[in-house]
Structure 1
Amino acid sequence: MNPRLRWPIATAACAVLCGVALIAPGHVVGAPLNDGLTQDGIIATGNGTAGIPQSIDVISPGQAGSSVNLSIALGQATQTQTVSLDRLGFGRVWWTPLASGAWTINSTGSASVSATTAAMPTVTQLAIPTNPTRMTTLPIIATIESGDLLG
């Protein structure tokens, strides 16, 4: 690569990555994880969409190698998850919000975090080639769009 092009490309890449780093934290919520004695970690998850799996991250170096129980609730709907922490105290579990609203996530200790989920409309389109030949395999192309489809 031409040395005269390296610096502008590197500068542009850095600017994009720094912009993403500044914007991304606003979509993630977290709370300190309390083991009963000291503030020892964090529970973090992003706001999401009802029916779409998302991750809950637990970081607790003081509880490394053990597991943390999470209670995830929205009104009367409750889910429980167990997060196994690795030797560094990091663990991740996937959960699927059943409905839209402000879910509360509580840990074994006294940590609590709230994540908001919303219902999202989707449009699914299936396409196949025209004039297919009998007894041949046909590709089917599926397109799924979600988000604000009206605006």
Structure 2
Amino acid sequence: MPLHLMCLGASGTGKTWLQEKVSELMPEEDKLEITTLSSNAFYYFGREELKHKLLLIEDLDGAESVLYPLRELQSKRRISKTVTLKDNKGNLKTVTLNVEGPVCFSGCTTWEKLYEDNANRCILLYMDGSSEQDGKIMEYQRRMRHY
């Protein structure tokens, strides 16, 4: 079963940095790093282009329009959409676009409540931006300098 991750925290707490560092461990051909998507973007990938890929969405706060197809890729492992297109003669025809998963998903956001339907399909990772955590990090760095 694919794993999905949502990294939550205030701006500047390192969500995107953490996601980037983890993604560096993945082979390039197995991931798709996305800064932003239009509302229909997922439907226009090739039928198997996303299959077994790790989808990394840098900022979910600007991706509200793709949350439904993303949920469907997570849960049903496929999405489809019927659209009308013009052929090379200018005639309209109906085409069904199909995209298959499964996919793994990782995204960053500052708003858990906004993504509640998506969050309940993910492991939630909360960033700790507290001064206590800063102190722990600085203490760890001091100890590491002595080794």
Scaled by the length of structure 2, the TM-score of the pair is 0.23
Question: With CA pairs under 8 Å and 6+ residues apart, which has the higher RCO, 1 or 2?
Answer: 2
Relative to its length, the structure with more strand (as a share) is 1
TM-score, normalising length: structure 1: 0.23
Larger radius of gyration: 1
